[in-house]
Amino acid sequence: MIWLGGGYPELYAADLAANTVMLKHLRAAHQRGVAIYAECGGLMYLGSTLEDSGGEIHQMANIIPGHSKMGKRLTRFGYCEAQAMQPTLLAAPGEIVRGHEFHYSDFIPETPAVMACRKVRDGRVLQEWTGGWQTGNTFASYLHVHFAQRPEMLQHWLAAARRVL
């Protein structure tokens, strides 16, 4: 199992791109079916490329096909929920996971999203979008989840990890 958390990869994009040994090992783990979970900055790292705020494009892991592009304004902020539209590393179809998003980047995917996301306040849906991408046993999204709020998420992840052993 590999967990790539959030952070600010755009600040270290050149260094991350230059760390070809790490990228090679991540790709190899993905090819072997290792269960990889990435959130926010981890999504950007697993994407194909990352365009920093200066417009420079950096090669990333190319595991989740798509391009991250930094913006100057906050793209999404706050608590939201995501409902799996197909089996994912964290949830079965129809299951809901909750967390928060906080990012200045956009991810322009080359494959369809696997989660239907929404921001709900006082029973009202304020925003809806799709997000979260799964390739093989690798799942990445902007959503920062808290596993204690729904322990079944961890059970899904552990089950995926056990299938590789």
In this predicted model, what pLDDT tens digit does every residue of 100-134 receive, in sequence order? 788 889 999 999 999 999 999 999 999 999 999 99
Residue 122 CA, distance from chain mean position: 27
Domain boundaries, the chain: 2-164
pLDDT digits (tens, 9 = 90+) for 35-46: 999 999 999 999
Is the per-residue pLDDT at 160 higher than 90? no
**Arithmetic mean of pLDDT, 16-38:** 97
CA distance 98 to 145: 6
Tell me the CATH number for domain 2-164. Answer: 3.40.50.880
| DSSP summary character for residue 142 | S
Q: What is the pTM of this model?
A: 0.91
Positions annotated as catalytic residues are 40
